[in-house]
Chains A and B, each alone.
Chain A
Amino acid sequence: MCGAPKQGGDLAGIDLTTQTVIQGSVWHDGAPVAGAYVRLLDETDEFTAEVVTSPEGEFRFFAAPGQWKLRSLAPIGKGERVLTADVGLNETTVAIG
């Protein structure tokens, strides 16, 4: 498999003692954005992965500890968020302005 699994939902079956999970939602005007493209960029701004948000606006990546950038792209606009992730669950939101 190389496409993205279903976004969001519970974390059952994911080992948070080894995985670095970055997850959250994309928001615009106080509401989650379904079907938005979210890409994960590394420290040098290079593309690492991309998913499409769930009907609830959720996304999830499995990364490694370090600094990452999230960039969201949707018909209504773009949003960005930089974060530092550690092993375990790293929750965040990306707002589209």
Chain B
Amino acid sequence: MSRTDVLVTADWAQENLARPGLVFVEVDEDTTAYDGGHLEGAVKLDWKKDLQDPLRRDFVDKAGFEALLSSRGISNDDTVILYGGNNNWFAAYAYWYFKLYGHQDVKLIDGGRKKWELDGRPLSKDVVERPTTQYRASDPDLSIRAFRDEVVASIGNKNIVDVRSPDEFSGKILAPAHLPQEMAQKGGHVPTAINIPWSKAANEDGTFKSDEQLAALYDEQGYDDSKATIAYCRIGERSSHTWFVLRELLGKSDVKNYDGSWVEYGSLVGVPIEK
């Protein structure tokens, strides 16, 4: 796996918008951005409505994922090119999610919607309709998804990477600062976790830093290549960004995303917390 297998530039995307076999997909939590203008021909996925179970806190199941992708006109052999707002957080989450359900060829647009807008590239309000497909998903690949018991068991023996901001890591604030600070869970972090904020892996325009810069970043922060890794944040989307960096850009092995993240861990009875 190398950078060009998993990442395309905005220039490349703009030149290939109409290329057969590619499906551009915008993923956001707030899909008003898509509705106000999207890449020509791109379909949308709503992080909350489409990718989360409406009742339980979990993903949609395999049948639900198949129905979703079929309805968006995505085939198993299509190359899916993901992008979105929030510095590609939700697009990176979708990337991880597509991999979990076994989609082979997925890429991110480097910089996502932010770079596209800052560059002043064209956006379209046209309604996009693609013919329905018969998408078939694989069983979930749980080698890339961590659950709470594994996180507790990993304290002191795996790389636990907390990708939230330093103030969330220390417990000074309970949520990213664009949200009200009214969370039920305790503040702090998983003991022995190292704090390497997702933002250190990105440039200001939302593009990823170079492979050399990224390798140096994790080395300097005490990441141990001989150990397995679990990344977490608050609800698992910023940690998807870091999961993408570690596994897909840097090629590190045995990296899992803990999507339960701090909203789950900080609410568990009896687990250890550090501040």
Question: Hey, which bits of chain A sit against chain B, CB under 8 A?
Answer: 1-5, 14-15, 18-20, 35, 37, 39-40, 42, 44, 46-52, 60-64, 73-75
- Measured in the bound complex, the distance between the Cα atoms of B172 and A5 in whole Å is 21
Residues of A within 8 A of B77 (CB): none
Within 8 A of A (CB), among B166-216: 166-167, 172-173, 175-182, 197, 199-200, 204-205
How many Cβ-Cβ contacts under 8 Å join chain A to chain B? 88
| Known A-B contacts A37-B114, A62-B181, A63-B177; A47 and B48 likewise in contact (beta carbons under 8 Å) | no
Residues of B within 8 A of A35 (CB): 117
| Known A-B contacts A2-B29, A3-B29, A42-B165; A49 and B176 likewise in contact (beta carbons under 8 Å) | yes
Residue in chain B with minimal CB distance to A55: B36
* B28 contacts the other chain (CB 8 A): yes
B165 in contact with A49 (CB, 8 Å)? yes
User: Which of A35, A44, A50 has its CB near the most chain B CB atoms (within 10 A)?
Assistant: A50
B30 in contact with A4 (CB, 8 Å)? yes
B118 in contact with A75 (CB, 8 Å)? yes
Residues of A within 8 A of B13 (CB): none
Residues of B within 8 A of A18 (CB): 181
Assuming A52-B85, A64-B172, A73-B204, what are 19 further A-B pairs, CB within 8 angstroms? A1-B48, A2-B89, A2-B234, A2-B235, A3-B30, A3-B47, A3-B85, A3-B86, A4-B178, A15-B182, A18-B181, A20-B181, A39-B204, A46-B166, A62-B178, A62-B181, A63-B177, A74-B118, A75-B118
C-beta contact mask, B82-115 vs A, less than 8 Å → 1, else 0? 0001110110000000000000000000000010
Residue in chain B with minimal CB distance to A52: B85
- Measured in the bound complex, the distance between the Cα atoms of B173 and A15 in whole Å is 16
- Measured in the bound complex, the distance between the Cα atoms of B87 and A4 in whole Å is 12
State which size class the interface on B falls in: 35 or more
A51 in contact with B178 (CB, 8 Å)? yes
- Measured in the bound complex, the distance between the Cα atoms of B181 and A68 in whole Å is 16
CB distance from B229 to the nearest CB of A (A): 21
| Known A-B contacts A50-B87, A63-B173; A4 and B199 likewise in contact (beta carbons under 8 Å) | no
Majority SS of interface residues in chain B?
Answer: loop
A14 in contact with B180 (CB, 8 Å)? yes
Residues of A within 8 A of B90 (CB): 3
B166 in contact with A2 (CB, 8 Å)? no
Residue in chain A with minimal CB distance to B180: A62
User: B166's contact among A3, A19, A42, by CB below 8 Å, is which?
Assistant: A42
CB distance from B35 to the nearest CB of A (A): 14
14 contacts between A and B (CB under 8 A): A1-B29, A1-B179, A2-B29, A15-B182, A20-B181, A35-B117, A47-B197, A47-B199, A48-B167, A49-B177, A50-B86, A62-B178, A64-B173, A64-B181
B197 in contact with A46 (CB, 8 Å)? yes
Residue in chain A with minimal CB distance to B93: A2
